[in-house]
Amino acid sequence: MPDDRGSPDLAHGVPPVAVSSTSTRVNLTGSWKYIRPVYQDKVAPCNQGCPVGIDIEGYMNLLREDRIEDAIGLLLRENALPAVTGRVCYHPCENACNRAWLDDAVSIHGVERMLGDLAIEQRILPEPETPRPETVGIVGSGPAGLSCAYHLARLGYTVTVYEAEAEPGGILRYGIPEYRLPKDVLAHEVNRIRALGVDFRCGVQVGRDLPLNVLESHDAVFVATGARRGRALGIEGEDLPGVRAGLDFLREVNRGGRPALGHRVVVVGGGNTAMDCARTALRLGAEVLVLYRRGREGMPAHDEEVEDALREGVRFEFLAAPVRVESTERVPDREPLEAIEATFDRFEGEPPAPHVAGLTCTRMRLEEPDRSGRPRPVPVEGSEFFVAADLVLTALGEDPDFDFLPEDVERASGVVRVNALNATGHGALFAGGDITDEPHTVAFALGSGKRAAVGIDRYLRFRAGEIGDGADLSELRQGPKGNISVTRWVGGDPVRRTDPVNRVVTFQETNPAHFAPVARAADRHLPPGERRLGFREANLGLEREQALAEARRCFNCGVCNECELCLVFCPDLAISRSAGGGYEIAYEYCKGCGVCATECPRGAITMTREGL
Amino acid sequence: MSQHLIKDLIPREELLDSGHLACPGCGAALAMRMVLKGLGENTIVALPACCWSIIAGPWPQSSLHVPLYHTAFETGASVASGIKAALVARGDTETTVMAWAGDGGTFDIGLQALSGAAERNEDFIYCCYDNEAYMNTGIQRSSATPWGAWTTTTPAAHPEAHPKKDILSILAAHGIPYAATATIAHPDDLIAKIRKAKGIRGTRFIHILAPCPPGWKAGDDETIALARMAVKARVFPLLEVEAGQRWRITLDPPREPVGPYLRKQGRFRHLSDADIAQIQELVDRRWETLERRVRDGG
Ligand SMILES: Cc1cc2nc3c(=O)[nH]c(=O)nc-3n(C[C@H](O)[C@H](O)[C@H](O)COP(=O)(O)OP(=O)(O)OC[C@H]3O[C@@H](n4cnc5c(N)ncnc54)[C@H](O)[C@@H]3O)c2cc1C
Ligand SMILES: Cc1ncc(C[n+]2csc(CCOP(=O)(O)OP(=O)(O)O)c2C)c(N)n1
Ligand code: SF4
Ligand code: SF4
Ligand code: SF4
Ligand code: SF4
Ligand SMILES: [Mg+2]
């Protein structure tokens, strides 16, 4: 247009009417600015919050674009067991979610579970990289071992997993009950790892059935034997038959056993093992009482588990601790426990042959916080009382057992010492999961297995002279904390990135004005009454449509998803679409107002000082 | 509003050029950009004196890809009427004529010409971009300046003492076929209204809130946020009125108090909490009147 506006009649020196003949584009108004916007790809808080190191934001965005297959692909790049974590991970990602400041966190676990189940249903198998000549041995097939095996197989290695139990899975197989994690879900995900070529040798306890030096045939070894040694009560009568380690009880039930429990089971402890014991015992027909020495707030068990236990009819005695287990000889005519609910009269069997009479307990009160920062429970003198029970299950926490490891593997306060990529410093020996110093959760175990896989890959490639050892680990992280992205290690990220910076986006950097409040979808559940009748899965997750709606609630923090608002709102028309996707800024016209950065719904634009 | 629809609702065509001379973050510049997207290329603009006289560029430049006539401050509506008459005389009934004036040029000095044209139902679109003062000449108050605001002629010790003139009601009272409000923070609503207006014959009036960072003493980056908050706080409801009778609220987001909107702007810094409460009352009263009109008609 500007060209054919015609030129003024200058015959008399002055045009009769001043007619424009050029555009304002000759004014390079960009020289006015002292700050400039730049597109910057940042880290979503959920991505940093996930100990596995999943690109949650990335798959949420793919789902928003209805690219379900690609979303599954992105998820499977980082997580070996999405159908498992979608069910049993305590989802710290959701605690970090920016959306919580607007209404409620995105149901990340619900979306992950839907994708994990779809991956099983569609038998999706990720492509491995080019095969490598080295072999790796893995001891223990819990989530840490499975994760390491999966990622190493994908990296092209030949992997052998040695497992003491008859089937792989560790706590996932023998600890977590069927009603929280159906065995066939786990089996499907393990089969995916098998399909990648991983060889599982089950029923082989390293150190007993197989000498440790057999592992020397491998180029590297990852040890993740977990924490299974239950802590003792440390009180009189603890050795009586009728007192049982909770984990041992869960293992029996998970193997298909249905032990007789008697009418009343008392579970001692307040962690997740305690909740699983209580809810399992309930399903076997017993009345269940949980004894815990602190209050409800002090329970280490995950909130949802406690809620579920309460809903199903588990009773709790807080601020109480056992002082003595009483045999039937000592207390022959005990007071019966008040029946919890009439539903329990279906129990008709006899108490188990060796059973106890109950527990003598003491009331506790809370004093000044101890070193862990939690209030310290102390007994209230003269407050003893009796609790009747046929069976006592102890669930006071589990400690790792790695006596079979070489003497010179460094240990510190009961754990194996490892570096940032889980190397023990003892040759090619790596370790992860519950035997190392990290929270005992499935997600941390999966994350440690992945870190070790990257560590082993780096170690073997370095040994083969393919790479130097100077790689900057912080570049593999999503945010400044510990998790790492295997995609960043391998390369080939399918997400279009602008200028990636390893900084987490705060809620203040997002623009919630562009999001209307939408209620978070709640997981569907079996009715509590039905749950008690068996081991059917209690939490049914989200419908596919609900999960997709959750993905649309996601802000996609920190990563441009081409919503185009920056372009729409720029008063200076300085922003345009670029050929390869995304946008570019004409800095010769941009006046640095910052409207684009302020309006970007997800903090994907940063204002920077001019000339820096 | 869902962000992923916005880009699909907005025409890609750009009829405004970079290098224009508006301040950083200028709402008036953005308003023109969006309005022209709605009107398209076949448009002629009549422009009385205002900030836009500068934004359009000095001779021989123009930031617009459509013809624009610079005219005297009080004559936006008369010049638009004249251009339209000339086009019709030449047999062109298709070209849209738009008067584009500031609030000073509309609420104050241009009101007589506008009222006359509206009474005759002249066939043009009159857009008033409202930055709530005479900005081009250095922030003097206009009858669009809200109660309590600072300007250079209403200093903080004697802030604006009259409520903002209800220009939409005045125009609606002329019985013109279409009158509407819009803001730069709601581009889909704005463009829908412009398109609707374009399809109607007679005098059409669009009142666009266009925040001005220097005049409102606000951050350059806050222009959009302020316009959005004005709507949420019901300070600037999004409306349309057909034939002066049928009033409709086109967008009614969850209501927010006026406080945060006012506190974001330096021109209201001197206000006490009691002043703000008084503004809230004024806003609430106007909203009630509006609801009554929506219910009962004109
Ligand atoms: C009852 C219970 C419920 C839990 N629920 C949850 C939950 O809902 N969510 C959550 O996030 N976390 C939960 N946890 C914690 C979580 O399960 C553990 O942190 C996680 O399983 C640790 O993984 P890992 O791979 O280190 O060890 P494990 O899962 O313990 O696996 C170790 C494996 O090594 C094998 N092994 C041991 N020694 C040898 C050997 N010498 N040779 C060969 N194999 C060996 C074991 O048989 C086992 O299969 C729960 C824990 C328990 C006990
Ligand atoms: C008759 C007349 N009086 C005064 C002026 C000086 N003048 C030019 S622009 C302007 C202010 C215009 O205010 P407004 O219409 O609100 O537009 P803004 O500058 O705020 O965009 C004034 C007073 C003029 N050009 N003509
Ligand atoms: S809104 Fe989405 S990207 Fe942002 S933290 Fe929550 S889940 Fe992650
Ligand atoms: S909105 Fe436009 S002018 Fe303002 S900073 Fe962004 S690119 Fe520059
Ligand atoms: S506003 Fe939208 S298009 Fe622009 S950077 Fe942010 S996400 Fe990307
Ligand atoms: S004074 Fe205000 S309206 Fe005028 S150009 Fe500057 S920002 Fe725009
Ligand atoms: Mg003005």
Task: Compute the C-alpha angle A346/A350/A353, nearest 5°.
Answer: 145
At residue A220, the pLDDT reads: 97
Residue of chain A whose Cα is closest to the Cα of B55: A24
In angstroms, the CA B27 to CA B211 distance is 5
Round to whole Å and give the CA distance between B227 and A297. Answer: 45
Q: What is the pLDDT of residue A333?
A: 59
Ligand 1 atom closest to residue A273's alpha carbon, by position in its atom list: 1
Tell me the CA–centroid distance for residue A587 and ligand 4, in Å: 9
Q: Which of B4, B24, B65 sits opposite A592 (nearest CB)?
A: B24
A443 or A240, which is more confident: A443
Residue A43: C-alpha distances to residues A316, A475, A484, A515 (Å): 41, 12, 12, 20
Chain-chain contact of B220 with A595 (C-beta, under 8 angstroms): yes
Q: What DSSP designation does A143 have?
A: H
8 Å CB contact between A225 and A139: yes
Cβ atoms within 10 Å of A273's Cβ, excluding its own: 28
Helical (H) or strand (E) element with B297 = none
A135-229+402-469 and A238-396 share one CATH topology? yes
Query: What type of residue is A517?
Result: P
> Which of A52, A141, A171, A446 to mutate to test ligand 1, by most ligand atoms within 8 A of the CB atom?
A171
Collapsing DSSP to helix, strand or coil, A477 comes out as strand
User: Which residue from A minimizes the CA distance to B32?
Assistant: A571
CB-based contacts of A311, cutoff 8 Å, min separation 6: A528
User: Residue A165: its pLDDT value, please?
Assistant: 97
Question: What is residue A169's three-state secondary structure?
Answer: coil
The pLDDT score that the predictor gives to residue A354 is 61
A28 CB neighbours in chain B (<8 A) are: 19
Residue B222 Cα to ligand 4 midpoint, Å, equals 12
Q: CB within 8 A of B112, min separation 6: which ones?
A: B74
Ligand 4 surroundings by CB, under 6 angstroms: A 37, 570, 572, 574-575, 585, 590-596
Q: Calculate the average pLDDT of chain A.
A: 91
Count of CB atoms within 10 A of residue A463's CB? Answer: 14
Is the domain defined by A24-41+561-609 classed in CATH 3.30.70.3270? yes
Section A267-293 average pLDDT: 95
Tokens encoding A81? 């067991």
Q: Which residue is listed with tokens 């082993």?
A: A456
Tokens describing residue A113 = 């579970």
Mutate one of B5, B6, B17, B212 to test the A interface: name it (highest A CB count within 10 A): B17
Ligand 2 pocket member B50 (CB < 6 A) = yes
Given CB atoms, is B40 within the 8 Å cutoff of chain A?
Answer: no
Domain boundaries, chain A: 24-41+561-609, 47-124+516-553, 135-229+402-469, 238-396
Query: What is residue A519's DSSP assignment?
Result: P
In tens, the pLDDT along A145-164 reads 999 999 999 999 999 999 99
Ligand 4 pocket test, pick from A28, A40, A575 with the greatest ligand atom count within 8 Å of Cβ, gives A575
Q: CB of A608 within 8 Å of any CB in chain B?
A: no
Give B30's DSSP letter: H
Locate tokens 């997981």: which residue?
A523
Which residue from A391, A329, A325, A392 is spatially nearest to A359, judged by alpha carbons?
A: A325
> What ligand has the least distance to the C-alpha of B135?
2
Task: Identify which of A18, A513, A591 has the shortest CB distance to residue B228.
Answer: A513
Ligand 4 centroid–CA A604 distance in Å is 14
Residue carrying structure tokens 């390079």: A28
Length, in residues, of chain A: 612
Is residue A420 less than 8 Å (CB to CB) from chain B? no
Residue A327 is predicted with a pLDDT of 86
Q: What is the CA radius of gyration of chain B?
A: 18
CA diameter of chain A: 126
Ligand 2 mutation target, pool B20, B107, B135, most atoms within 8 A of CB: B135
For the CA atoms of A346, A351, A353, A358, the dihedral, rounded to the nearest 10 degrees, stands at: 150
Q: What is the DSSP string of A362-386?
A: EEEEEEEE-TTSSEEEEEPTT--EE
Residue B170 touches partner A, C-beta closer than 8 Å: no
Note whether B60 contacts A24, CB cutoff 8 Å.
Answer: no
Evaluate if pTM is beyond 0.90: yes
Tokens of B79: 């010049």
Distance CA A139, CA A504 (A): 35
Q: Do A513 and B63 touch (CB under 8 A)?
A: no
Shortest Cα distance, chain A CAs vs residue B244, angstroms: 32
Q: Mean pLDDT in runs of 10 for chain B (298 residues)?
A: 70 97 98 98 98 96 97 98 98 97 98 98 98 98 98 97 98 98 98 98 98 98 98 98 97 96 98 98 97 90
Q: Ligand nearest A30 Cα, by number?
A: 4
- Range with the poorest average pLDDT among A12-16, A18-22, A374-378, B223-227: A12-16
Query: CB under 8 Å, gap of 24 or more: what pairs does A537-543 form?
Result: A537/A178, A537/A179, A537/A180, A537/A182, A538/A179, A538/A180, A538/A308, A539/A87, A539/A180, A541/A86, A541/A87, A541/A110, A541/A113, A541/A114, A541/A117, A542/A107, A542/A110, A542/A111, A542/A113, A542/A114
Look at residues A534, A245, A509 and name the one whose alpha carbon lies nearest to residue A396.
A245
Cβ-nearest to A32 among B24, B63, B213: B24
Instruction: Give the pLDDT score at A352.
Output: 59
Name the residue in chain A with its Cα closest to that of B56: A24
Which chain A residue has its CA at the smallest distance from B16's CA? A573
Q: How far apart are CA B62 and CA A153, in angstroms?
A: 64
**What is the per-residue pLDDT across A381-410, written as a single tens digit (0 to 9) for each?**
999 999 988 999 999 999 998 888 888 888
Q: ipTM value of the model?
A: 0.97
May I ask the CATH architecture of the domain A135-229+402-469? 3-Layer(bba) Sandwich (3.50)
Pick the CATH number of A238-396 from 3.40.47.10, 3.20.20.80, 3.20.20.70, 3.50.50.60: 3.50.50.60
CB-based contact A313:A341 (threshold 8 Å)? yes
CATH number 3.40.640.10 given to B3-296: no
> Scanning every residue of chain B, which has its alpha carbon at the shortest distance from the alpha carbon of A562?
B4
A593–B221 C-beta distance less than 8 A: yes
Centre of ligand 5 to C-alpha A241, Å, is 66
Domain ranges for chain B: 3-296
The DSSP output letter for B46 is E
Token pair for A410: 């460094």
| CATH of A47-124+516-553 among 1.10.10.10, 1.10.1060.10, 3.30.70.20, 1.10.8.10 | 1.10.1060.10
> Two tokens at B53?
């006289």
